[in-house]
């Protein structure tokens, strides 16, 4: 057995398993698409499978990053899909009313309107969860259900098609030969990591997630932190909504961001953040979102029959979740991968202290103890 200390350290790194799954998924594509990893220049921008994975995965990464912080406080936000739809609908309907859809000022104003709407949704969620003490799954369910109706009301039940070059850049355009959305995602992720890991903010979020009452008693403003993460999550969803509508140059109130909340939660879980709250990993979430997008692309490229799409997806997700479970690894692989994981320095005691109101735990969730 090659259980050298370095190998051990590597396998016990919290990003090891998500990254391993991502690599395996990418490699699966190679026999089906021999030039899967090739990237070539087309029409002045890079083009290839990897580029499309990042391009189409960008909205999911954004939503999942926002979701990570909400889940870190022990909450959950089901409304992100509806926020995606509302933001896209508002922005596109504003732009479509403009005489000159290419005017920069008009587009910026439209972006502003869309994002303000997203923030309002976030404030509402935060208010219900933090001030009113409603369980997050219920509080955010309201906008999840009603929001899509609002979006359809804005678009009048139609798909609004726009023809605005500046707006198209956000989700469908290219800058420096790369999809512009990559830069947006990179900026949001960088700001989030800086805010949560370079300041005390991340620690505060984790402590609220660990035990909101105890945090309040030691002087942390739990309520304010909670409202903040819901607003942040909605803002991320709003930016994702801009990307999705910009990518197809159309706002579809009915379908934009449909079920993205579930993919986002999955991405967070695959990334190793505990659904019980109290701990999170932004890097893990980004990898998790890429795993999901790669999985989707893989389904399309290897030709899984349409009817069995979801079964295939489920099977992969189960494998990923099992691989993440230290107990499972210990049983199957013996001590090589199993021991030690899940009991890292900052690991102990979070789940025990978590309040019981975190209802939306999946079967795999308690096993997501990756430090």
Partner 1 sequence: MLNRRNFLTAAVGVAAATGLAACAKKDEGGSTGSGGGDGKIVLGFSQVGSESGWRSANTDSVKEAAKEAGYNLKFSDAQQKQENQISAIRSYITQGVDVIAFSPVVVTGWDAVLKEAKAKKIPVVLTDRSVETSDESLYVTLVGSDFTDEGRRAGKILEKVLEKAGHKGPVKIAQLEGTTGAAPAIERAKGFKEVMDADHADDWKIVVSQTGDFTRAGGKQVMAAFLQSNPDIDVLFAHNDDMGIGAIQAIEAAGKKPGKDILIVTVDGVKDGFIAMSEGKINAIVECNPLLGPQLMEVVKKVKNGETVERWIKTKEGDFMQDQAKAALPSRKY
The binding site for partner 1 (CB under 8 A) comprises 32-33, 36, 42-43, 47-49, 52, 56, 152, 157-159, 161, 172, 244, 247-250, 252, 254-256, 296-297, 299-303, 306-307, 309
Task: For residue 41, list its beta bridge partners.
Answer: 46
Closest separation in Å from C-beta 151 to partner 1: 12
Nearer to partner 1, 3 or 52 (CB): 52
Closest separation in Å from C-beta 42 to partner 1: 4
DSSP-derived letter for residue 133 is: -
Q: Is 35 exposed, middle or buried (0-12, 13-18, 19+ CB in 10 A)?
A: exposed
Closest separation in Å from C-beta 257 to partner 1: 9
Closest separation in Å from C-beta 232 to partner 1: 24
In whole angstroms, give the CA distance from residue 322 to residue 212: 30
244, two tokens: 């999705």
In this structure, the number of other CB atoms found within 10 A of the CB of residue 305 comes to 9
Q: Which of 239, 248, 229 is nearest to 84 (CA)?
A: 239
Q: Which of 233, 188, 226, 249 is nearest to 58 (CA)?
A: 188
Nearer to partner 1, 253 or 342 (CB): 253
Nearer to partner 1, 237 or 275 (CB): 237
Nearer to partner 1, 56 or 124 (CB): 56
Nearer to partner 1, 2 or 307 (CB): 307
Residue with tokens 């979740």: 321
Nearer to partner 1, 50 or 223 (CB): 50
92, two tokens: 């596109």
Closest separation in Å from C-beta 255 to partner 1: 4
Closest separation in Å from C-beta 281 to partner 1: 27
In whole angstroms, give the CA distance from residue 284 to residue 288: 6
Residue with tokens 């899967």: 36
């Amino acid at each position: 057995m090659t259980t050298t200390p370095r190998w051990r350290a590597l396998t016990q790194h919290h990003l090891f398993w998500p990254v391993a799954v991502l690599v395996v998924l990418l490699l699966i594509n190679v026999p089906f698409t021999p030039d899967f990893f090739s990237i070539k220049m087309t029409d002045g921008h890079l083009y290839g499978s990897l580029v499309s994975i990042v391009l189409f995965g960008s909205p999911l990464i954004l939503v999942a990053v926002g979701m990570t912080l909400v889940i870190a406080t022990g909450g959950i936000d089901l409304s992100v899909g509806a926020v995606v739809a509302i933001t896209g609908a508002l922005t596109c309907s504003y732009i479509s009313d403009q005489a000159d859809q290419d005017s920069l000022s008009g587009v910026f104003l439209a972006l502003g309107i869309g994002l303000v709407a997203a923030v309002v949704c976030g404030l509402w969620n935060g208010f219900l969860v933090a001030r009113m003490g409603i369980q997050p799954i219920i509080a955010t369910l309201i906008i999840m259900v009603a929001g899509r109706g609002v979006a359809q009301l804005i678009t009048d039940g139609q798909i609004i098609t726009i023809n605005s070059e500046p707006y198209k850049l956000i989700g469908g355009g290219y800058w420096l030969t790369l999809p512009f959305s990559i830069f947006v995602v990179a900026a949001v992720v960088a700001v989030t990591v800086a805010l949560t890991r370079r300041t005390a903010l991340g620690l505060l979020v984790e402590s609220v997630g660990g035990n909101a009452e105890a945090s309040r008693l030691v002087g942390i403003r739990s309520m304010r932190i909670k409202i903040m993460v819901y607003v942040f999550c909605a803002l991320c969803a709003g930016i994702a909504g801009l990307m999705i509508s910009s990518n197809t140059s159309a706002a579809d109130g009915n379908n934009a961001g449909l079920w993205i909340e579930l993919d986002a939660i999955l991405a967070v879980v695959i990334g190793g953040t505990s659904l019980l709250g109290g701990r999170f990993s932004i890097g893990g979430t980004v990898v998790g979102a890429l795993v999901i997008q790669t999985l989707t692309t893989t389904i399309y490229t290897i030709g899984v029959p349409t009817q069995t799409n979801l079964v295939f997806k489920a099977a992969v997700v189960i494998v990923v979740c099992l691989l993440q479970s230290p107990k499972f690894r210990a049983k199957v692989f013996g001590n090589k991968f199993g021991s030690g994981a899940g009991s890292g320095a900052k690991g102990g005691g979070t789940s025990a202290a978590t309040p019981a109101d975190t209802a939306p735990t999946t079967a795999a969730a308690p096993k997501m103890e990756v430090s």
